[in-house]
Amino acid sequence: MRHLMSPLDFSVEELDKLLDLANDIEHNPEKYSHACTGKKLATAFYEPSTRTRLSFEAAMINLGGSVLGFSSADSSSAAKGESVSDTIRILSCYADICAMRHPKEGAPLVASMHSGIPVINAGDGGHQHPTQTLTDLLTIRTLKGRLDNMTIGLCGDLKFGRTVHSLISSLVRYPGIKFKLISPEELRLPDYVRVDVLDKNGIEYEEIDKLDDAMVDLDILYMTRVQRERFFNEEDYIRLKDYYVLTKEKMSKAPKDMLVLHPLPRVNEISVDVDDDERAVYFKQAQYGVYVRMALILTLLELA
């Protein structure tokens, strides 16, 4: 039985196959519409979510399966003090696969050790978010035609943004990848990614404060929101929350073929007037999230 805790749980070859499957699902949805008949997905979400939980649910429904679950710790027995290891034992009796989001780093990993069904990490604290990475990779590969030889600007909260940590870990496996890490000093990439992933793999990167300076030669600009819920004090959040705002005016200076991605939710970091720009692909990205989660469910249930 296989779980998904980190994007590195799949080799580059396996990932390619998964993304190929997601592209096939996009173009031939009817071929897959009964692939999971009789199967159940449990969504165990101890933290808020719109896209991740609902795209998992949509994915399972599109495959002909059913879904059950909870969308907050308050509405589960966690509120009575039940551990994740007990909860997953129970969910293993009710479902065939589980997507779990938890505010504590490593909680889905603990669950996977006690589980009778595949567990997918749907975001663990400020640590990892592998299915967002699968979504990002599918978006980039489909719209750019490649995952190698690219300069990627990551902008915003690089400290607490788990999507950034997972995306970097995954992209360093492709040749010719360079990063521009655009953040205020206080929200820089943590050492467990900068040193252990970038330096260790000899990846070229720059840490930059100004978005305008960084934008001129990017293939991808990956915007992120400042992660309010991970701050120790609200004053710091208020001071940093609007540090970057991508506007139409800024976009006019960016390369013609630079794509703008964002895992969403957006707060203020992308002005709504950028949405009409054809380089702004964050809503399309959310749609790709459904195809890739369909491909993932099929792969982990060994139905692909």
Q: CB-wise, 178 or 266, nearer to ligand NCD?
A: 266
Count other C-beta atoms under 10 Å from residue 6's C-beta.
19
Q: Is 52 a catalytic residue?
A: yes
Confirm or reject binding of residue 168 to ligand NCD (CB under 6 A).
no
Give the up-direction half-sphere exposure of residue 34: CA atoms within 13 A in the CB hemisphere: 0
Shortest Å, Cβ 187 to ligand NCD = 13
Q: Is 224 a catalytic residue?
A: no
Tell me, rounded to whole angstroms, the distance of Cα 124 from its chain centroid.
11
**Which two three-digit tokens encode residue 71?**
């969308």
Sign of the dihedral defined by the CA atoms of residues 29, 35, 37, 41, in that order? negative
For residue 62, give the amino acid letter: N
Which of residues 51, 127, 165, 293 is near ligand NCD by CB under 6 A?
A: 51
Query: Which parts of 254-293 interact with ligand NCD (CB under 6 A)?
Result: 263-265
Q: Which position among 52, 139, 151, 163 bears the catalytic label? A: 52
Distance (Å, rounded) from C-alpha 201 to C-alpha 175?
Answer: 11
Confirm or reject binding of residue 225 to ligand NCD (CB under 6 A).
yes
Confirm or reject binding of residue 129 to ligand NCD (CB under 6 A).
yes
Give the up-direction half-sphere exposure of residue 140: CA atoms within 13 A in the CB hemisphere: 28
Q: Please, which residues have CB within 8 angstroms of residue 61's CB and are 6 or more apart in sequence?
A: 67
Q: Burial, 81: exposed, middle or buried (Cβ in 10 Å; 0-12, 13-18, 19+)?
A: exposed
Query: Which parts of 183-212 interact with ligand NCD (CB under 6 A)?
Result: none
Q: Is 3 a catalytic residue?
A: no
Which of residues 162, 180, 194, 293 is near ligand NCD by CB under 6 A?
A: 162
Shortest Å, Cβ 78 to ligand NCD = 18
Residue showing tokens 């007037």 = 273
Q: Which position among 39, 129, 194, 225 bears the catalytic label? A: 129
Confirm or reject binding of residue 132 to ligand NCD (CB under 6 A).
yes
Q: Is 228 a catalytic residue?
A: no
Which of residues 163, 166, 170, 183 is near ligand NCD by CB under 6 A?
A: 163
End-to-end alpha-carbon separation of the chain, Å?
A: 14
Q: Is 188 a catalytic residue?
A: no
Shortest Å, Cβ 90 to ligand NCD = 25
Q: Which position among 3, 51, 162, 165 bears the catalytic label? A: 51
Number of chain residues interacting with ligand NCD (CB under 6 A): 12
Q: Which position among 39, 53, 101, 102 bears the catalytic label? A: 101
Tell me, rounded to whole angstroms, the distance of Cα 77 from its chain centroid.
27
Question: Degrees (nearest 5) of the Cα angle 300, 18, 124?
Answer: 60
- Site for ligand NCD, rule CB under 6 A: 51-52, 123, 129, 132, 162-163, 224-225, 263-265
- By annotation, the residues acting in catalysis are 51-52, 80, 101, 129
